Amino acid sequence: MTQPAKSAPQLPLANRFAVLDVEEVNTEIREPIDIPPFFPSAPVRTALPRRPKWEKRLPKRLSANTLDTCGTSIILPVEIGTTNTSEVHSVKALLDSGATGNFIDKDFVRTKGISTRSISCPIPVFNVDSFPNKAGQISKVVDVVLCYKTHSERTLLAISNLGKQSMILGYTWLKDHNPEVDWQTGEVQMNRCPPRCEGCHAIRKEQVSRRKVEVKAVNVCRSGPPPEYAEDLEEDETPL
């Protein structure tokens, strides 16, 4: 016997969702809106702090050589005067052509109580092998008047850890002043300094006067009669 087919369940006649509010759907077709193309904005550059005029005289990098402590270097007994308190301190400066820039030891500055200036951009220091110096970057300098005999100049000294040395005058200083160095006696003559150096003018003036006297003496000899020639007689010869 065939079983009678089951009838589908009857749906409820009442809509139970009829009590909910239904928003009307807008079927109006809208035209597409033109969207402007996207261009990435340029990266914003952070403005660097404005460096003071005195700081612009400092180099962008410095190099330090291995210090010669075997007695084969030239040591200058110099004096440095502070520009704010006019205090004068004696210090021995090492002439080191392997270093660039002028350095002063931080312990010497701290012991003497010398005022320092902070720089906005620290200066890296490298050794002769191009590796960074273990003393670290230069972040402070001192503004002093450097005096040696009659020579005087205003300069900035970078503060660093110099070990046994108190002060170093490097290749840039030697090139700028071009002193005459006697390596046998250790004497240094500051007679070829730039015009901004004080006290060196007297040395140059004395040298110019000395050359004028020498040239005048040579000209007098050239303008006069030639010297008489006297023939030396042999020991066994007698004059007639």
CA distance 107 to 112: 9
Per the listing, tokens 């820039």 go with 101
Model confidence at 177: pLDDT above 70: yes
Binned at pLDDT 50, 70 and 90, residue 69 comes out as very low
Does 23 reside within a domain? Answer: no
Does 162 reside within a domain? Answer: yes
Does 93 reside within a domain? Answer: yes
Domain that holds residue 137: 54-200
Does 2 reside within a domain? Answer: no
Counting Cα atoms < 13 Å in the Cβ hemisphere of 51 gives 13
Longest CA span, the chain: 186
Model confidence at 65: pLDDT above 70: no
For residue 181, what is the DSSP state?
E
pLDDT tens for residues 203-239? 667 767 777 777 777 777 777 676 665 555 555 555 5
Does 116 reside within a domain? Answer: yes
C-alpha 155 chain-centroid distance = 12
Model confidence at 25: pLDDT above 70: no
Q: Residue 126 sits in a domain of what CATH number?
A: 2.40.70.10
C-alpha 18 chain-centroid distance = 85
Does 73 reside within a domain? Answer: yes
Does 173 reside within a domain? Answer: yes
Per the listing, tokens 């004080």 go with 198
The mean pLDDT of 97-116, rounded to a whole number, is 92
Does 170 reside within a domain? Answer: yes
Number of domain units in the chain: 1
Q: Mean pLDDT check: name the lowest of 68-77, 108-117, 164-173, 179-188.
A: 68-77
> In terms of pLDDT, which residue wins out, 61 or 202?
61
Model confidence at 92: pLDDT above 90: yes
